[in-house]
């Protein structure tokens, strides 16, 4: 269901001021907490969380608000940038109904077990029950130290907070399963960060994002319990998650069968999630097991990036520049590796290896089927079952990597190859030739010219070798489309729903960050509005759909990023 349809389906309600809201705390009630109350870095045992309050900040001020998320929660936009609600969103005010905590978890980072990690700078305030009866956790990222902070300060800088706020909402509008973001608040305090770990730390403005999700539990919450040999708590956590977030399984199966079915469902959701990432060209950048949601949501927006020049080996994470473990093309393989680590953690509950292997097979099958269907839609095809489709795809991916070609723009240009004369609304928004005959009569140069907006180096793109190769592929593609025999409008509509025109390119986020640092919120407001409708043409916003400008190629924040906040 689209965002607009979701909002229309919700009953008309009076939105509350956040400072008047009542929170629930089911997670805290039903799972054992850390009996130690000292907020100092330490190892925690036999607990799912530690009770801890945010550290107040100097002068919180609201920078951005997501109205759609507020409406889902039944919460009104704060009356002013410095209202009591903003004090709550900054962690300066804890409501009487809140029982804030930091979750305990571990994880495999870059393929190696890292031991205890936990919420080092994120503090969950509690759970709101929305007007439609659903339960959502509200979590402040950058809210200060917790016992899981290790040597860090628990804070977040403005640049990482803007990126998380914007991308959470952009991904939702793209139809990608994701956590959400309610607010972005400046703290009025500097944060010291060495952005590229090169020995040059600098003071940067601090900020806090209020993240929203049915749950922030991740694979690592289960891994730490297995690693520390806490089987009863492992079972208790699994029972809580199944009862709260997979109730259909709890009512249909008996243990241990229910745990196997639950793992299978986690695998299925993860397969769908990764297919969506691949579809829109999103690269998470740090797919450690502690960054994998047990609900199959995109979680923890750190050094992510959007595939601009199509490159299966591209990673946005400078920490991953050598090994490229988390590059675009590796994401399905890494997801399965992570699920295998989760399977290992769940063996005390699921002793049948065949059941765990079946779950992992479900991931592979789900991803392959979902990705195949999405690729077909991106190409305007009903399916990829033709005998030559595998070679058509492999040749396309190989051709796209020969010359730096923008993935998003290439597929939008592909939409505008008409098989029949165009008219009406389609003609008004299409950049394609006006008749079928003009396409059939085009020479190779004319056909490839349709894709000029997607090329970062036109001289390479129109070299004889590349021009001949791409034009040859395009003629095969046109022949394949005609074999389908479907109406042109159906193909165009299918492609327009699978291929976004607007994505949160890193340089666009960087422009919003720099503007906010100057006190200008117009850039982030404009981006938020445009990214609500990523598949629509929006002719007045064409500059936001253009390929990355050359000045942004190597500029910090516009290309690769580090894990540092």
Residue whose structure tokens are 């439609």: 132
Residue length of the chain = 565
Q: Say how far residue 552 (Cα) sits from the centre of its chain.
A: 22
Q: Is 323 annotated as a binding residue?
A: no
Q: What angle do CA 314, 318, 323 make, to 5 degrees?
A: 60
Residues 6 or more apart from 30 whose CB is under 8 A from it? 240
**For residues 211 and 224, what is the distance between their CA atoms, to the nearest angstrom?**
23
Consult the annotation and say whether 271 binds a ligand.
no
Q: Is 300 within any annotated ligand binding site?
A: yes
Burial class (CB in 10 A: 0-12, 13-18, 19+), 348: middle
Phi, psi values for residue 61, rounded to 5°: -145, 130
Residue labelled with tokens 């330490």 = 42
Q: Which residues fall within 8 angstroms of residue 494, CB to CB, at 6 or more apart?
A: 377, 380
Long-range contacts of 540-549 (CB under 8 A, 24+ apart): 541/502, 544/502, 544/508, 545/408, 545/409, 545/412, 545/501, 545/502, 546/453, 547/308, 547/406, 547/409, 547/453, 547/454, 547/456, 548/308, 548/406, 548/456, 548/505, 548/506, 548/507, 549/507
311 classed as catalytic? no
Tell me: is residue 121 an annotated ligand-binding position: yes
Check the annotation: does 536 bind a ligand.
no
The answer to whether the annotation marks 141 as part of a ligand binding site is: yes
Instruction: Please provide the DSSP assignment of 448-513 as one string.
Output: HHTTGGGBS-HHHHTSHHHHHHHHHHHHHHHHHHHHH---HHHHHHHHHHHS-S----HHHHHHHH
**CA–CA separation, 380 and 337 (whole Å):** 32
Which residues make Cβ contacts (< 8 Å) with residue 207, sequence separation at least 6? 63, 142, 156, 157, 158, 161, 162, 184, 185, 186, 187
Query: Residue 558 in contact with residue 159, Cβ under 8 Å?
Result: no
The helix/strand/coil state of 225 is: helix
d(C-alpha 506, C-alpha 235), whole Å: 41
Across the strands, what pairs with 33?
Answer: 49
**What is the Cα–Cα distance from 271 to 332, expressed in whole angstroms?**
8
Question: Within 13 A of 309's CA, how many CA atoms are on the CB side?
Answer: 17
Q: Is 501 annotated as a binding residue?
A: no
Task: Report the run of H or E that residue 86 belongs to, with start and end.
Answer: helix 84-89
Would the annotation count 194 as a binding residue? no
70 in a labelled binding site: no
CB 86 within 8 A of CB 93: no
Angle CA 378–561–283, to nearest 5: 20
The answer to whether 107 is a known ligand-binding residue is no
The dihedral built from the CA positions of residue 150, 151, 155 and 156, taken in this order, carries a sign that is negative
Selecting among 239, 290, 320, 406, the annotated active-site residue is 290
CB 74 within 8 A of CB 13: yes
Residues carrying an active site annotation: 290
Annotated binding site: 118, 120-121, 141, 153-154, 211, 218, 291, 300
Annotated binding site for ATP: 118, 120-121, 141, 153-154, 211, 218, 300
Annotated binding site for Mg(2+): 291, 300
């Amino acid at each position: 269901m689209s965002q607009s349809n979701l909002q229309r389906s919700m009953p008309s309600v009076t939105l509350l001021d956040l400072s008047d809201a009542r929170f629930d705390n089911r997670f805290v009630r039903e799972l054992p907490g850390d009996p130690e109350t000292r907020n100092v870095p330490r190892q925690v045992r036999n607990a799912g969380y530690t009770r801890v309050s945010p550290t107040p900040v100097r002068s919180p001020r609201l920078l951005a608000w997501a109205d759609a998320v507020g409406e889902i929660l039944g919460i009104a936009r704060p009356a002013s940038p410095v209202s009591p609600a903003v004090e709550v969103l900054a962690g300066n005010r804890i409501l009487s109904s809140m029982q804030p905590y930091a979750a305990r978890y571990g994880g495999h980072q870059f393929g190696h077990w890292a031991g205890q990690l936990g919420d080092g700078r994120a503090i969950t305030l509690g759970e709101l029950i929305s007007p439609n009866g659903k339960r959502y956790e509200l979590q402040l990222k950058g809210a200060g130290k917790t016992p899981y902070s290790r040597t860090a300060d628990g804070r977040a800088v403005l640049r990482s907070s803007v990126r998380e706020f914007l991308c959470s909402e952009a991904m939702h509008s793209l139809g990608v399963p994701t956590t959400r973001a309610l607010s972005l608040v400046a703290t009025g305090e500097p944060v010291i960060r060495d952005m590229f770990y090169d020995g040059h730390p600098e003071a940067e403005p601090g900020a806090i994002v209020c993240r929203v999700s049915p749950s922030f539990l991740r694979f690592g919450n289960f891994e730490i319990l297995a690693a520390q040999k806490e089987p009863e708590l492992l079972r208790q956590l699994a029972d809580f998650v199944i009862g709260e977030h997979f109730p259909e399984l709890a009512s249909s199966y008996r243990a241990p069968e229910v745990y196997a079915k639950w793992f299978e469902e986690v695998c299925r959701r993860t397969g769908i999630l990764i297919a969506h990432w691949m579809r829109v060209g999103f690269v998470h950048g740090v797919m450690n097991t502690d960054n994998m949601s047990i609900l199959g949501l995109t979680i923890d927006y750190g050094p992510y990036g959007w595939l601009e020049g199509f490159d299966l080996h591209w990673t946005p994470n400078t920490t991953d520049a050598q090994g490229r473990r988390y590059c675009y093309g590796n994401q399905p393989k890494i997801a399965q590796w992570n699920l295998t680590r989760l399977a290992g953690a769940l063996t005390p509950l699921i002793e049948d290896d065949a059941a765990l292997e079946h779950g992992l097979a479900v991931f592979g099958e789900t991803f392959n089927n979902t990705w195949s269907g999405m690729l077909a839609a991106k190409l305007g095809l009903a399916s990829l079952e033709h005998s030559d489709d595998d070679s058509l795809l492999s040749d396309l991916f190989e051709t796209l990597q020969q010359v730096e070609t923008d993935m998003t723009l290439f597929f939008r240009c592909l939409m505008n190859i008409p098989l029949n004369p165009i008219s009406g609304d389609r003609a008004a928004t299409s950049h394609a030739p006006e008749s079928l005959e003009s396409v059939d009569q085009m020479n190779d140069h004319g056909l490839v010219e349709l894709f000029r907006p997607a090329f970062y180096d036109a001289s390479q793109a129109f070299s004889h070798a590349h021009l001949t190769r791409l034009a040859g592929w395009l003629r095969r593609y046109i022949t394949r489309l005609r074999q389908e025999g479907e109406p042109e409008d159906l193909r165009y509509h299918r492609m327009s729903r699978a291929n976004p025109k607007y994505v949160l390119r890193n340089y666009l986020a960087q422009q919003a960050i720099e503007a906010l640092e100057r006190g200008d919120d117009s850039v982030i407001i404009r981006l938020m509005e445009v990214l609500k409708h990523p598949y629509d043409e929006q002719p007045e916003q064409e500059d936001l759909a253009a390929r990355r400008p050359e000045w942004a190629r190597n500029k910090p924040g516009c290309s690769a990023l580090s894990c540092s906040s």
